[in-house]
Structure 1
Amino acid sequence: MLETLTRGFRDARNQLRGMTRLTDENVAEALRHVRMSLLEADVDLALVRGFLERVSERCNGAEVKLRAGRKEQRRQVSPGDHFTKACYEELVSLMGQAEPLAPAKHTRALMLVGLQGTGKTSTAAKLALHLKKAGERPLLVAADLRRPAAREQLQLLGGQIGVEVYSREGQDAAAICADAVIHARESGLGSVILDTAGRLQIDQELMHELEQITAQTRPEATLLVCDAMMGREAVNVARGFAEHLSLDGLILTKLDGDARGGAALSIRSATGLPIRFITVGEGTDRLETFRPEGLASRILGMGDIVGLVQDFEEVADHEQAEEDARRLLQGQFTLKDFLSQLRTLQRMGPLSDMVEKLPFAGELLPEGANIDGRELKRVEAMILSMTPEERTRPELLDRSRQERVAAGSGTKLADLGEMLKRFEGMRKLIGGLGKGGGMAGMLSRIPGLGKMLAGGMPGMDPAALRELGAGGEAPNRRAARAQKSEARRQKRKSLRKHKRRGKRH
């Protein structure tokens, strides 16, 4: 997702790596990578120029403090970090502040409009599920009377998410929508989501129909559904609809399939319309409230931890999660717990999407690496092929039992052995964290990760990483020094004891 933009900003950050100060020359060279990626992402030239000028003004002539923060929380700050911060703030400004949809206080109409093929019908279902999770009782209205099987598709989606769909015969879309609003008001429902017809291009007939629906239902919000992969053309479509309708916001669809990201960056600044939601997958649960901070962070390759936590909170049982965490840190980690964690991950959505939300994941993984979510299914099959006792006590899995599990799960014996080896490593790692060994120290014990941390995290100053790893762990470092001192004292005591014994003999 948005690989083109991420690559440009990553190259710019690498350009400044090792620099001791920001100058006109090195800032201009870094911005050259950003300019190329923005233009390749189909961002309007005028917007690109304005963005680059503002970032340049923030960086040129700025005094970069080598350390920031307070006393024990101070961190190393490099010119590259200062450049990244300037880009982040300007990206957030370009995309505008988040303006989530207000909760329904009474029965209201929400009208979705857009061209054919942008995903209006599936987006209507995603929005309905989103509102349902928020505690509303939404109603879906099949008002697309022109596309074949549009009503049947909406009814199928409504059945999958447990939301009522209003549909009846007739060719007057405005009358159907008006009747649906009356039905919702009588039934005590909240948001009435109108799935209207689209066209291959904007025409007067389409606009006349939408104007009639607006007149008869008086929607609280009219949302334009735009395909993110349209690039700059999405801006032209938004302007075309805005000439005939009073739009209240945008929903950007298929953002997960957009390698460029030009629409996400351009459309707010070009039209003045806020992006309310984005869709990042085909599932009915793959609609997110738009957060410019999260998207800017992902564009810069820094992940989106807030979004990842929100995904987890939607699927996890909080009390169970706390109990699991307590048991894990006590070293009571079994394959049964591992299976529970895997199933939580699967409910959070595609594995590739989760990995993208991890900080610097794009730099830790090889270019073109394939994140195969099916691997989780294979691991689940292995664990389910074990007996309950084997899941609790993996050490029981001798050669004979492993052959049985591999055959039952349809996997190779080597794959099962590798999974058990990784599980044992994970159990020792988590047990070590619970004993207060310190996160930085434990991470360095993971095969391959120790060398990476020693060389510095990609895009981060090694000194900053060392201080970041040590920050907040001063008690652990003091404890480690105390343990070493005690060990030396015991060693000296033991040597003295041996000397006394030698003198007696």
Structure 2
Amino acid sequence: MFGQITEQFQTIFKNIRGLGKITDKNINETVRQVRRALIDADVNFKVVKSFVAEVEEKAQGTKVIKSINPGQHFIKIIKDELISLLSSEGSNLNIDGKPAIILLAGLQGAGKTTTAGKLAFKLKEEGRSVLMVAADVYRPAATDQIAKIGKQVGVSVFRGQGKDPLKICIDGIKEARSLKNDVVIIDTAGRLHIDKDMMKEIQEIAYHSQPNEILFTADGMTGQDAVKSALAFHEAVPLSGVVLTKMDGDTRGGAALSIKKITGVPIKFIGVSESFEGLETFDPKRLADRILGFGDVVSLVEKAEKIFDREKAEQMNRKISDNSFDLNDFKMQLKQLKSMGPIGNLMGMVPGMNAKALKKLNMDDRQISWTEAIINSMTTNERKYPNTMNGSRRLRISKGSGRPVQEVNALLNQFNQMKKMMKKMKNFNKIKLPNMGNLTGF
């Protein structure tokens, strides 16, 4: 996430960290580099102009301050301005009422239906009963898709009768009231803002359903196009928030940095992975830290807390302490790691992780699946006692998993090294999180 702009900011910060004092010369040079980084990231030119002007003004005001570390002070100015740019009032989801109604709108292919499922999953995890309404009657199999998603997340879906989206929405809300659901999420059809009939339809749905929230779902990778679309939709219906999807594939960050400033509509959620857990509540400070390359250790810990079971972690610690950790345990840890999201995104949350170094690591998320395939091709005894495997067994495992023998050997060697390391750690009484070890190919 934000690989390109993060790399540029890290280069800028590297140059200004050692500044002995803040002068007109280094202010102008830094401001010029920041301006270029933001323009390269496809940030709206008005946003770039105002942001750079604010940074320059505040930096000029600190020239006379005798700071212990002027360079760090300059970095703080940039970070504070970025947080200010992303922040807004009313960023919390309004789910008052019984039921609270959330209307999702946006262009085709922006990820509305998937977002509806993610949001339903998130609200269900918070203990709320949710009903999703399938109001996209135009896209082939759209209702089948949301029904499948509903089944996966354990949330009911109202499909309605006929092809009238407005009637389906009204009937869906009535159904939610009769079922005493807490929240209704309406998934509407994707539409272009230049299509007058379709825009009139979303206006009628919004008028008759009286939603608590009208969320514009925008593809984060489309940059300025997402901002223009959001502005056009906001003129037609009063948007209360934005959901930026596919942010795990966005290396520039133009939409995230521009959309609130230009439209005045707060960002409420960002989609960071394809899994149903991959919808994060928008936090300006955390996003600013990620953009600037400072990591996001809070989000990393929160992800770990959701995935790792305390009882299982303590059981794993006991196995580590008595050196009985085997490949079955290793496989379980791989599954836990996999469910936390793409490895590159997790590494990007680690403070101090250099964007260039992260790119050179060339981490492939498929490697976890390949490692799992190798372990799955072993017998129960081989997983428990990996040292018993000879050449013929390794060849059989290689053929069964569809991976080269070299990868099987590498996994076993790395597992043995990990076991030796765990033996040395035997004297430690507490290990907060299970050691992930080294994955083959990482």
TM superposition score category, shorter chain reference: 0.7 to 0.9
**Alpha carbons 1:41, 1:261 under 8 Å: kept:** yes
Give the corresponding residue for 2:435: none
SS class of match (2:55): helix
Query: 142, 150, 173: which is aligned to 2:142?
Result: 150
Q: How does 1:205-244 map to 2 (within 5 A)?
A: 205-244=197-236
Q: CA deviation at 1:94?
A: 0.7
TM-score, structure 1 length as denominator? 0.77
Q: CA deviation at 1:279?
A: 1.2
Q: How does 1:257-336 map to 2 (within 5 A)?
A: 257-325=249-317, 327-328=319-320, 331-336=323-328
The 1:363–1:225 alpha-carbon spacing in structure 2 relative to 1, beyond 3 Å, is closer
Q: CA deviation at 1:88?
A: 2.1
The 1:401–1:144 alpha-carbon spacing in structure 2 relative to 1, beyond 3 Å, is closer
2:77 is aligned with 1:101: no
**Alpha carbons 2:191, 2:199 under 8 Å: kept:** no
2:341 is aligned with 1:338: no
Give the corresponding residue for 1:2: 2
Q: CA deviation at 1:79?
A: 4.4
**Alpha carbons 1:96, 1:269 under 8 Å: kept:** no
2:66 is aligned with 1:63: yes
Q: CA deviation at 1:415?
A: 2.1
Q: Distance in 2 between matches of 1:359 and 1:143?
A: 43
Most deviating of 305-314 and 340-349: 305-314
Q: CA deviation at 1:120?
A: 1.7
Paired AA for residue 76 in structure 2: K
Give the corresponding residue for 2:29: 29
2:345 is aligned with 1:353: yes
Q: Distance in 2 between matches of 1:35 and 1:268?
A: 19
1:324-376, CA deviations, whole angstroms, 9 ceiling, x for partnerless residues?
24543565533332222111011222223222222343446364653211211
Q: CA deviation at 1:252?
A: 0.9
Q: Distance in 2 between matches of 1:91 and 1:211?
A: 34
Paired AA for residue 198 in structure 1: G
2:85 is aligned with 1:82: no
SS class of match (2:9): helix
Q: How does 1:362-441 map to 2 (within 5 A)?
A: 362-363=354-355, 365=357, 367=359, 369-399=361-391, 401-433=393-425, 435=427
Q: CA deviation at 1:253?
A: 1.4
Q: Distance in 2 between matches of 1:251 and 1:100?
A: 12
Q: Distance in 1 between matches of 2:18 and 2:260?
A: 36
The 1:430–1:15 alpha-carbon spacing in structure 2 relative to 1, beyond 3 Å, is farther
TM-score, structure 2 length as denominator? 0.87
Q: CA deviation at 1:317?
A: 1.6
The 1:13–1:435 alpha-carbon spacing in structure 2 relative to 1, beyond 3 Å, is farther
The 1:398–1:364 alpha-carbon spacing in structure 2 relative to 1, beyond 3 Å, is farther
**Alpha carbons 2:99, 2:177 under 8 Å: kept:** yes
**Alpha carbons 2:40, 2:252 under 8 Å: kept:** yes
Q: CA deviation at 1:301?
A: 1.5
The 1:51–1:63 alpha-carbon spacing in structure 2 relative to 1, beyond 3 Å, is farther
Q: CA deviation at 1:305?
A: 1.6
SS class of match (1:420): helix
The 1:202–1:377 alpha-carbon spacing in structure 2 relative to 1, beyond 3 Å, is same
Q: Distance in 2 between matches of 1:20 and 1:381?
A: 55
The 1:79–1:331 alpha-carbon spacing in structure 2 relative to 1, beyond 3 Å, is farther
The 1:298–1:145 alpha-carbon spacing in structure 2 relative to 1, beyond 3 Å, is same
SS class of match (2:80): helix
Paired AA for residue 243 in structure 1: E
Q: Distance in 2 between matches of 1:152 and 1:218?
A: 26
The 1:415–1:166 alpha-carbon spacing in structure 2 relative to 1, beyond 3 Å, is same
Give the corresponding residue for 2:238: 246
1:262-301, CA deviations, whole angstroms, 9 ceiling, x for partnerless residues?
1101111222211111112334432221122221111112
**Alpha carbons 1:109, 1:221 under 8 Å: kept:** yes
Gaps of at least 5 residues in structure 2 are 432-437
Structure having the higher Rg: 1
Q: CA deviation at 1:219?
A: 0.9
1:158-211, CA deviations, whole angstroms, 9 ceiling, x for partnerless residues?
233232221223343222211111111111212111112332233432332223
Q: What is the identity percentage for the equivalent residue pairs of Structure 1 and Structure 2?
A: 40
1:102-161, CA deviations, whole angstroms, 9 ceiling, x for partnerless residues?
455521211111222322222222222222222222111121233333223322322332
Q: CA deviation at 1:318?
A: 2.3
**Alpha carbons 1:19, 1:79 under 8 Å: kept:** yes
Give the corresponding residue for 1:92: 83
TM-align CA RMSD: 2.8
Q: Distance in 2 between matches of 1:362 and 1:133?
A: 34
1:438-460, CA deviations, whole angstroms, 9 ceiling, x for partnerless residues?
x9xxxxxx9xxxxxxxxxxxxxx
**Alpha carbons 1:303, 1:359 under 8 Å: kept:** yes
**Alpha carbons 1:107, 1:185 under 8 Å: kept:** yes
1:452-487, CA deviations, whole angstroms, 9 ceiling, x for partnerless residues?
xxxxxxxxxxxxxxxxxxxxxxxxxxxxxxxxxxxx
The 1:257–1:134 alpha-carbon spacing in structure 2 relative to 1, beyond 3 Å, is same
SS class of match (2:129): coil
Give the corresponding residue for 2:45: 45
The 1:295–1:366 alpha-carbon spacing in structure 2 relative to 1, beyond 3 Å, is closer
2:183 is aligned with 1:183: no
Give the corresponding residue for 1:195: 187
SS class of match (1:243): helix
Q: Distance in 2 between matches of 1:430 and 1:295?
A: 35
Q: Distance in 1 between matches of 2:71 and 2:424?
A: 34
Paired AA for residue 82 in structure 2: L
**Alpha carbons 1:111, 1:196 under 8 Å: kept:** yes
SS class of match (2:239): coil
The 1:364–1:196 alpha-carbon spacing in structure 2 relative to 1, beyond 3 Å, is closer
Q: Distance in 2 between matches of 1:169 and 1:296?
A: 46
Q: CA deviation at 1:258?
A: 2.0
**Alpha carbons 1:2, 1:299 under 8 Å: kept:** yes
1:375-413, CA deviations, whole angstroms, 9 ceiling, x for partnerless residues?
112222233333444434444345454444444433333
